[in-house]
A and B are shown apart, each in its own frame.
Chain A
Amino acid sequence: EVQLVESGGELVQPGGSLRLSCAASGFTFSTYNMGWVRRTPARGLEWVAYIKLDGSGKYYVDSVKGRFTISRDNAKNSLYLQMNSLRAEDTAVYHCVRLSGWGRFDAWGQGTLVTASS
């Protein structure tokens, strides 16, 4: 069974940093592109970033470029999102996702809540 389990979300002050982690199991992690999608009640779903299966390419939505960094460790079957200079508008549930084919998300983790607030 494919499983994606996120961790690392918490309350942080605006301007602060967080590192999210995603532990993957049930599939060959190193053969899939992986990514992050965030969800808010007001804005719905928003794709944040994705990384190619070997880490050779990293892509971001404009609103997080220069602040967020996606990375992976294929030896540990893990995906990460380093989030710096957090803003109130980054408050969301962050889902780890597996990409299949061309850009569709065929597996989702339950999500981890990030709250940027003073």
Chain B
Amino acid sequence: DIVMTQSPDSLAVSLGERATISCKSSQSLLYSSNNHNYLAWYQQKPGQPPKLLIYWASTRESGVPDRFSGSGSGTDFTLTINSLQAEDVAVYYCQQCYGLPYTFGQGTNLEIK
């Protein structure tokens, strides 16, 4: 199974500042035939189900604000939230969709400092 490891486990950032979350996979998520990385990011706010933010490592889902961005390739990925807003308080998960079983990172709890 592909192991997904996020860091940090929790993060406190001031409003208006940048938040950065790392995700590492135990094997490459790059599918060579189409040059896509099969890595997705989700946001889970309190009392709500997870919501897809980013797929293919860097493509924003429709309706997601452009302050959210994803980067990386192979085994190392980053979710960046620019100009942090109060409504961004949530747990963020990465997920590999390269192969079965699909696996998630352990989650990063983002709070306001």
Q: Do A and B form a real pair?
A: yes
CB distance from A56 to the nearest CB of B (A): 16
Q: Binding site of A, secondary structure by majority: helix, strand, loop or mixed? A: strand
The answer to whether A26 has its CB under 8 Å from any CB of chain B is no
Surface stretch bound by B, among A69-77, A83-91, A97-105:
A97-105
B51 neighbours in A (Cβ, 8 Å)? 108
Cross-chain contact of A95 among B49, B93, B95, B101 (Cβ < 8 A) = B49
In angstroms, Cα B26 to Cα A52, docked, is: 27
A61 neighbours in B (Cβ, 8 Å)? 101
Q: Which residues in chain B, 40-57, are within 8 Å of chain A measured between CB atoms?
A: 40, 42, 48-52, 55
Q: Is B40's CB under 8 angstroms from A104's CB?
A: yes
CB distance from A104 to the nearest CB of B (A): 4
In angstroms, Cα B97 to Cα A44, docked, is: 17
For chain B, the count of residues having a C-beta within 8 Å of the partner chain is 22
Q: Binding site of B, secondary structure by majority: helix, strand, loop or mixed? A: loop
The answer to whether B70 has its CB under 8 Å from any CB of chain A is no
Cross-chain contact of A102 among B38, B48, B49 (Cβ < 8 A) = B38
The answer to whether B7 has its CB under 8 Å from any CB of chain A is no
The answer to whether B103 has its CB under 8 Å from any CB of chain A is yes
Cross-chain contact of B103 among A47, A106, A109 (Cβ < 8 A) = A47
B97 neighbours in A (Cβ, 8 Å)? 101-104
In angstroms, Cα B5 to Cα A44, docked, is: 12
In angstroms, Cα B101 to Cα A59, docked, is: 8
Which 3 pairs, one residue from A and one from B, show the smallest C-beta to C-beta distance?
A103-B97, A108-B49, A47-B102
B: residues with CB less than 8 A from A are 38, 40, 42, 48-52, 55, 61, 93, 95, 97-98, 100-107
19 more contacts with CB within 8 A, not counting A104-B55, A105-B40, A108-B49, are A44-B93, A44-B105, A44-B107, A45-B104, A47-B101, A47-B102, A61-B101, A100-B52, A100-B55, A101-B97, A102-B97, A103-B97, A103-B102, A104-B40, A104-B52, A108-B50, A108-B51, A109-B49, A110-B49
